[in-house]
Structure 1
Amino acid sequence: MLDACAELVDEVGYEGLTTTLLAERAEVAIGSVYQFFPDKRAIVQALTLRTLESYLQRLDERFASDDLSDWWDGVDAAIDEYITMHRTVPGFRTLHFGDVVDLHLLDEQRDNNGVIADQLARLLTERFGLDGVPDFRFHLEVAVEAADALIKLAFRRRPEGDERVQVEARALVREYLHRQLDARTEAAQPG
């Protein structure tokens, strides 16, 4: 049902999605849809959570490789995976991480990009030992918001993503994080 939901969201958008359409596409009885999901919001929330898990799994794999030599490589990997998912994962281009439906779809207490920033902070801290860097989580959330907005712009401009906008998104995030974090990272290092 989630695969059918992803396809439909790309075809008709969130507003056009109905449980009836979903049941038809998934080739299940409408009662089966309601057995698992009370409404279309719950279906989209489940799809969004699955997408978040996939994104984090992709990043875990990238972070586990030896190709990342510093924290910026991890940020770059996060941007790469976000762009790749826009291009390849059904439903992602429309839903992203659920903000089209509800800014608090992933977590009632934090907005969706805040959840993403928390997960990125965890991964970056584990991989690059960034604990103790002052305001790290805050600056990462600002960077996530900026990157998200610019990547959405790139895909509104061109179906495959406007490369010029993507380059600018990377440059903006890189410059911002370097300016905010490099001095703090050095200050937090022992010795």
Structure 2
Amino acid sequence: MASPTPLRRQPVQQRSARRVEKMLQACASLIDDLGYDGVTTTLIAEKAGVAVGSLYQFFPDKRAVVQALTQRNLDHYIRTTSERLDTIELEHWWDAVDVCLDAYVELHRTVPAFARIRFGDVVDLRLIDEERENNTVVADRLIELLATRFNVPREEVATQMAVAVAVADGVLNLAFRDHVLPEDTVVNETRKIIRAYLSGQL
């Protein structure tokens, strides 16, 4: 299920698409520097080198810019996970947990603003899609990817994947949000928990 676009209008020309991309890059950089609450549409426009009126042609407000940025990050995450799965052979679908986690950790450590907003929960639990919570959107995208690749019936794994994403998000927050435990330790513990849970579902 595709998430609704936050754009007021889709950029048709390459020049417009580049302008929107500059706005998203500027927003990500500002979030890293100032946090979500410190960012304004005026600051985004200034950093992107565009008029604020140009920003409003595509986005109604700051939240919409961050929503588009979050959707782009999710697309990047799914694409990276899929590309990595292309390079290896796995015996069971739940073995993909390692790939999914590694792609997430890389996103967190390398993609601008992701450490601050992740998949949107810092801003709104339904930032990506107003009708579904962010974790549900992420789980649905992973279900679609894994069901197709491993020929797994969606209806048989939907609940398990939704639980796995929610549990992984909660445990990973101990390192990435709350910083109460070392990142590598939390990632490894998350890996063991999710693998044990999913491998027992068949």
Q: By the TM > 0.5 criterion, same fold?
A: yes
- Match 1:143 to one of 156, 164, 173: 164
Number of residues paired by the alignment? 179
Distance 1:162 1:105 in 2: 26
5+ residue gaps, structure 1, are 185-191
Distance 2:188 2:154 in 1: 30
- Match 1:67 to one of 89, 101, 110: 89
The answer as to 2:125 corresponding to 1:103 is: yes
- Match 1:130 to one of 139, 144, 152: 152
Identify the residue that residue 166 of structure 1 maps to in structure 2. Answer: 187
Report how far residue 143 of structure 1 moved: 0.8
Distance 1:177 1:154 in 2: 22
Identify the residue that residue 79 of structure 1 maps to in structure 2. Answer: 101
- Match 1:45 to one of 67, 76, 101: 67
5+ residue gaps, structure 2, are 1-22
Q: Over aligned residues, Cα RMSD in angstroms?
A: 1.8
Report how far residue 139 of structure 1 moved: 1.0
Report how far residue 157 of structure 1 moved: 5.5
Do the aligned partners of 1:83 and 1:151 also contact (CA within 8 Å) in 2? no
Does 18-27 or 149-158 show the bigger shift?
149-158
**2:38 counterpart letter in structure 1:** G
TM norm structure 1: 0.86
Distance 1:132 1:117 in 2: 11
Identify the residue that residue 41 of structure 2 maps to in structure 1. Answer: 19
TM norm structure 2: 0.82
